[in-house]
Amino acid sequence: MAYTKEPDQLSIKTNVDLLKERQTATFDVASLTQILDGGKAKTRRRKQLESLVLSDPTLNPLDRSVDRLELYDRSLRKAARVYELKVKHNWSPEDMKMVLRMLNDEHALGVHEVMFIPCIERLGTAAQRAKWLPRAHTLEIIGTYAQTELGHGTNLAGLETTATYEPSSGQFILNTPTLSAMKWWPGNLAKTANHALVLAQLWIAGKKFGMQAFMVQLRSLEDHTLLPGIETGDIGPKMGVPYTDNGYLILKNVRIPRDHMLAGFAKVSADGQFSKVGSDQVNYLTMVYVRAKIVDWAFNGVSEAVTIATRYSAARRQGSMKPGDPEVQIMDYMTQQYKLFPALAAAYALFFAKEQIMKEYVRVTKEIQEDSNFKSLPELHSQAACLKSFSSDSSSHLIEVCRRACGGHGYLISANLSTIGVDNVSVVTAEGENTVMFLQTARYLMKSFAKSTMGQPLPATVQYLSRDWSSYECPVRSERDCLNHNVISDIHLKRASYLVKRAADHLQRRLSAGDPQHVAWNRASIDLVTAAVGHAQAFVVCNFCTSLSQLDADTQILEVLSTLCSFYGLHLIIKHSGEFLEAGSISGNQLELIRRQEQALLAVIRPNAVALCDAFDYHDVTLNSALGGYDGNVYEELYGRAKQCVLNKTEVLPSYYKHIQPLQRRLKARL
Ligand SMILES: CCCCCCCCCCCCCCCCCCCCCCCC(=O)SCCNC(=O)CCNC(=O)[C@H](O)C(C)(C)COP(=O)(O)OP(=O)(O)OC[C@H]1O[C@@H](n2cnc3c(N)ncnc32)[C@H](O)[C@@H]1OP(=O)(O)O
Ligand SMILES: Cc1cc2nc3c(=O)[nH]c(=O)nc-3n(C[C@H](O)[C@H](O)[C@H](O)COP(=O)(O)OP(=O)(O)OC[C@H]3O[C@@H](n4cnc5c(N)ncnc54)[C@H](O)[C@@H]3O)c2cc1C
């Protein structure tokens, strides 16, 4: 059907792809709008009001400014102080990690610390490391990692920024050829950094050699002004992380010397010959590192949120179970425990997951850097990708559950749950959007599955695909059996194995029907993502179990963590029960036993819930929450913080005299 409505928003510059989509509509949009409005007359009236209200400069909803300058200034002041203390006390990288964690909500120099420096460490030569790292550690050079562009973030092959080698001068010339090639998003780029690692397409003599990292000085080291050919700015306010100056960058014929291309794995000789060691993807090593770090940040986010919500749930009393009885702690409600304890268990599961992925990262980078052995890189990439995605998906969901568990007070900024939540949710997108990352893992799983069918050996994380699951029968016969870690692990592995096979079968069905590989991949991609999620969950659960079996701790601690681990594994089974049943991992009767045991464990966890949170040992200043303080004095804290609110500084605010009083007078005069 033709598009009979001509929306007022349509401008001659409307995107052509969007126009085309509108042309495929099969119904009259204006008629549907009238139905939604409640009739033609109401639509007309709404339109009249729209033209009156939305063009009024005072009422313009675009005016939602926050004081970015103040936030930026405050966090930079803190970052500068951290560096001062770092140098004064000679803090190690491990010390810095702890300090950044305790400062939590202020990462003014986060990208410098977490991406710029690690990128030089991983991709630079010994000479480049010696040249830049000492200066970076003392903040003489402050850097950003400038990869994402306005037009492309995920598809790195689509990046448009160019670095063209000129043999006559021995220089690279960097350019932003189009609007969409503008760097867009890099943290610290807008105002803080004086250097950038710019990820650009290398061109030599008219031939493209793929994405490489180039060290580009952006600002004068004397007065911080921008150098010729460089334009930067802030991309504007975001949902969270307001203290970071995520920026844009336009490069116009910026020249840098040949040794400013990070050359640990790829080189350009003076006469313009390109050579490389290992796979093209080795340039992605910094991303793998940050993805592993994100598992750690997800752990931070959930462990902080659950500490706040659990302490609050112990301190808060509301309602009674039986009329006339005293009010109960809200943690007595089973439904409340069912909000808190999955988050508590997930925090511990993610703790062991981040330990494992970081250990693997260190092992594999050592193999790469010391022996030029790239054998383990695909597995590491696959694991970092799915764990980054699973952990950040989980943390953003669970932090929100914790916030809601605190009722109305959870909505206050002073609870600090909203800030933890919005900051944390950034990492579902940053460093590789989660769906895209799950698809990367799925790619590895499909290859591994194919190898398993050919009887080839598989690396540790996918070895379960080689197991013969056809005769597997879940041994659960009683609620007690559900506590066994080997049983729980096998239930998860069997389901993961089924999901991988199901996705592989879907892919094969499409290919057999004549779809080209890329079409088949897209059509099977929902199943592929499901398989990667199942794989990630199985890994996290099995790793939790294995880590406990190797943990050097007393029996009381092992017992408590073991219960938590069983609960975590069972909870995931209940949440995704359809898949476990479909996989034949468990039967309907076994599902019921698992459900009973899962719920029974709430009472077992309950006596240790606060202590398990206390063990994270967050300082009250780090948690910065009126609800989550160690002493549980919630109401005093809420009232104290409210009193400090800027609106409460004056009994009658100037705004009253400015806006209300004169209006009252004007309205009265009209009567
Ligand atoms: C953000 C604020 C965070 C606040 C959090 C608060 C928590 C508080 C806690 C504590 C405090 C700590 C301090 C915090 C300070 C925070 C500041 C720093 C934050 C930085 C955040 C983010 C920065 C960024 O986002 S940088 C940009 C990241 N960009 C991406 O990730 C791009 C995503 N795209 C890709 O990776 C690729 O293009 C991809 C994988 C989608 C596709 O690759 P490609 O186009 O090459 O093609 P394919 O054909 O699909 O693959 C070819 C081949 O390569 C393999 N491969 C792909 N990637 C990799 C890799 N990385 N490593 C190894 N191998 C790889 C792939 O599997 C294929 O292999 P085959 O064998 O051919 O199958
Ligand atoms: C807080 C924050 C900080 C950041 N910091 C930096 C930084 O310091 N440096 C830097 O370079 N960048 C940074 N980024 C950018 C970030 O890396 C990208 O936003 C991210 O990689 C996602 O890319 P995109 O924005 O292009 O999303 P898109 O790729 O456009 O994603 C949009 C949607 O398309 C889907 N999609 C895209 N491709 C595929 C596919 N192949 N298959 C299926 N679905 C697909 C995605 O799943 C998603 O739903 C930051 C981003 C954020 C939010």
> For residue 670, is it within any domain?
no
Spatial separation of the C-alpha atoms in residues 248 and 459, rounded to whole Å: 41
Q: Domain end: 277, 312, 345, which one?
A: 277
| Pocket around ligand 1 at a 6 A CB cut-off | 100-101, 104, 107, 110-111, 114-115, 145, 147-148, 153-157, 187, 241, 281, 284, 287-288, 290, 297, 300-301, 377-378, 381, 423-424, 426-427, 430-432, 436, 440, 443
212 - beta bridge partners? 200
Percent of the chain topping pLDDT 70: 97
Q: Domain end: 14, 48, 64, which one?
A: 64
Probe ligand 1: pick from 115, 211, 241, 440, max atoms within 8 Å of CB? 440
Residue stretches of the chain with pLDDT short of 70 = 1-12, 60-66, 105-106
CATH number, position 454: 1.20.140.10
> For residue 644, is it within any domain?
no
Same domain, yes or no: 463 and 538: yes
Which ligand has the shortest distance to the CA of 238?
A: 2
| Residues 44, 30 contacting (CB under 8 angstroms) | no
- 431 carries an active-site annotation: yes
pLDDT at 101: 83
Same domain, yes or no: 127 and 172: yes
Same domain, yes or no: 142 and 79: yes
Q: Is 148 in the pocket of ligand 2 (CB under 6 A)?
A: yes
Q: Give me the number of domains the chain comprises.
A: 3
Same domain, yes or no: 392 and 304: yes
Atom 29, ligand 1: which residue's CA is nearest? 431
> For residue 378, is it within any domain?
yes
pLDDT at 1: 42
Distance 430 CA to ligand 1 centre (A): 8
Spatial separation of the C-alpha atoms in residues 309 and 35, rounded to whole Å: 43
CATH number, position 124: 2.40.110.10
Spatial separation of the C-alpha atoms in residues 399 and 391, rounded to whole Å: 12
Atom 39, ligand 2: which residue's CA is nearest? 436
pLDDT at 426: 96
> For residue 633, is it within any domain?
no
Same domain, yes or no: 133 and 38: no
pLDDT at 4: 45
> For residue 179, is it within any domain?
yes
- 3-state SS of 262-306 is CCCCEEECCCCCEEECCCHHHHHHHHHHHHHHHHHHHHHHHHHHH
> For residue 407, is it within any domain?
yes
Same domain, yes or no: 489 and 567: yes
Which residues constitute the domain of residue 130? 70-277
Same domain, yes or no: 246 and 292: no
pLDDT at 139: 93
Q: Domain end: 227, 256, 277, which one?
A: 277
Probe ligand 1: pick from 100, 105, 156, max atoms within 8 Å of CB? 156
Same domain, yes or no: 241 and 362: no
Atom 48, ligand 1: which residue's CA is nearest? 440
Atom 5, ligand 1: which residue's CA is nearest? 424
The amino acid at residue 439 is L
> For residue 652, is it within any domain?
no
Distance 154 CA to ligand 2 centre (A): 5
Of the candidates 121, 360, 379, 431, the residue annotated as catalytic is 431
Query: For the chain, first and last CA: distance in Å?
Result: 54
> For residue 417, is it within any domain?
yes
Same domain, yes or no: 302 and 264: no
Is residue 234 classed as helix, strand or coil in its secondary structure?
strand
Which positions ≥6 away from 563 have C-beta within 8 Å?
A: 483, 601, 604, 605
| Residues 540, 353 contacting (CB under 8 angstroms) | yes
Spatial separation of the C-alpha atoms in residues 585 and 298, rounded to whole Å: 29
Spatial separation of the C-alpha atoms in residues 644 and 175, rounded to whole Å: 50
Same domain, yes or no: 304 and 260: no
DSSP 205: T
| Residues 23, 3 contacting (CB under 8 angstroms) | yes
| ipTM for this prediction | 0.96
Spatial separation of the C-alpha atoms in residues 508 and 496, rounded to whole Å: 18
Is residue 208 classed as helix, strand or coil in its secondary structure?
strand
Same domain, yes or no: 261 and 311: no
Same domain, yes or no: 399 and 254: no
List b or e across 112-143, with b for residues whose CB sees 16 or more CB atoms inside 10 angstroms: bbbbbbbbbbbbbeeebbebbeeebbebebbb
pTM (2 decimals)?
A: 0.94
